[in-house]
Amino acid sequence: MSLSDIAHIGRKAASSTASSTVNAADAANAPGPWNTDGVERLFELPFPELLYRAQTVHRAHHAPDEVQLSSLLSIKTGGCPEDCGYCSQSSRHREAGVPAGKLMQAQDVIEAARAAKAQGATRFCMGAAWRNPKDRDMDGLTTMVREVRALGMETCMTLGMLEDHQAQALKEAGLDFYNHNLDTAPDFYGQVITTRTYQDRLDTIRKVQDAGLNVCCGGIIGMGESRRQRAGLIARLANLAPQPESVPINHLVPIKGTPLEDAPALDEFEFVRTVAAARIALPRSVIRLSAGRESMGDATQALCFAAGANSIFLGSKLLTTPNAPVSSDLDLLARLGMRAAAASREA
């Protein structure tokens, strides 16, 4: 066999490997409906191929250098009757040490929104540790929405399960987004939460969509779920109809005193793969890097942006867990040549 034969065989082998990779990627990259198998095939692509595919999808639908900046405030902390295994605010996880508080006064919430806007946030997310809001709370909540909106910010709330009339009242007050996460895949869900079902969550999301609100819906990675279960979560999110406008991808922050305090650490590349799979399966959604960013290195965050993440929470605290300082976030965006997305609304 001559050297040119060997080179020819080498070229053929390389081209067949490249083409089978591309074919696998094309198959995996086909538009939905997505199933767990299809999303799992994305996870199994070589890392550079997955990132390339995700970035290609990202550029088709989003400005590649833009990051949307949100801010999150806990408007009612602790004492929640639900038993979400990751959460320090559950009344069942008393050793986590988060005391139950009352719903904040609207004026204090508005002041916090004003401060968040001054730091550069364009969306203000308000979270309450409830199973569901009571009707008696709705006046205060709708006042918060109207007043924060009047500042020229987008508004988002996460209050637990909703009734139709509550979703309608929030919509009429001007709420832009309602956050209600699926958290994880259906077949892992029961190991994390027992006090409300997966179907309860889907029902609330349906009510929110029926009221005409944008949906913010994502999950938490690193709770001990398998790769297939991560794929299962992405497939469920991708099959919501319509797909959620906003998709927070959280990295578990293990909190002492919660059932998941000793969850096994997750390989950072696996987290990036999850972001990339979400980007491909949810091409138009804004993918938000949410909890867990504080302990991520700058390089991992940069990989997440390359994989299609295009939103972050700005501010030193997320509900009850720490978040990256604002100055380091703005510095990181500047170092990466990225910029904050413009506000969609002005006061």
Q: Which residues are annotated as a binding site for [4Fe-4S] cluster?
A: 80, 84, 87
Q: Which of 123, 125, 279, 304 is catalytic?
A: 125
Annotated binding-site ranges? 80, 84, 87, 125, 156, 216, 288
Residues ≥6 apart with Cβ < 8 Å to 46: 21
Q: Which of 208/280 has CB closer to ligand SF4?
A: 208
Active site residue 125: yes
- Judge whether 307 and 64 are in contact, CB under 8 Å: no
Task: For residue 118, give Cα distances in angstroms to 4, 202, 294, 315.
Answer: 66, 35, 21, 11
Helix orientation angle between 36-44 and 268-281, rounded to the nearest 10 degrees: 130
Q: Which of 21/132 has CB closer to ligand SF4?
A: 132
Q: Which amino acid is at 187?
A: D
CB 253 to ligand SF4: min, Å: 12
Active site residue 217: no
Q: Where are the beta strands (DSSP E) in the chain?
A: 66-76, 123-128, 154-158, 177-179, 214-216, 219-221, 246-251, 286-289, 311-313, 317-318, 321-322, 339-340
Q: Which of 39/129 has CB closer to ligand SF4?
A: 129
CB 21 to ligand SF4: min, Å: 39
Q: Which of 54/96 has CB closer to ligand SF4?
A: 96
CB 93 to ligand SF4: min, Å: 8
Task: For residue 194, give Cα distances in angstroms to 82, 98, 189.
Answer: 8, 20, 8
Q: Which of 23/194 has CB closer to ligand SF4?
A: 194
Tokens 């965050």 found at: 301
CB 22 to ligand SF4: min, Å: 41
CB 203 to ligand SF4: min, Å: 15
DSSP for 115-158, written as a single string: HHHHHT-SEEEEEE--SS--GGGHHHHHHHHHHHHHTT-EEEEE
CB 331 to ligand SF4: min, Å: 31
Strands 317-318 and 321-322, by their bridges, are: antiparallel
CA atoms within 13 A on the CB side of 153: 32
Q: Which of 53, 84, 123, 230 is catalytic?
A: 84
Active site residue 288: yes
Residue 328: which of 303, 287, 296, 290 has the closest Cα? 296
Residues ≥6 apart with Cβ < 8 Å to 138: 166, 169
Q: Which of 53, 123, 149, 156 is catalytic?
A: 156
Q: Which of 230, 273, 288, 293 is catalytic?
A: 288
Q: Which of 53, 149, 216, 293 is catalytic?
A: 216
Contacts with ligand SF4 by CB under 6 A lie at 80, 82, 84, 87, 89-90, 129, 160
C-alpha span between 333 and 337 (Å, rounded)? 6
Annotated binding-site ranges for [2Fe-2S] cluster? 125, 156, 216, 288
Active site residue 80: yes
- Judge whether 151 and 117 are in contact, CB under 8 Å: yes
Q: Which of 90/214 has CB closer to ligand SF4?
A: 90
Q: Which of 80, 201, 230, 293 is catalytic?
A: 80
Q: Which residues carry out catalysis?
A: 80, 84, 87, 125, 156, 216, 288
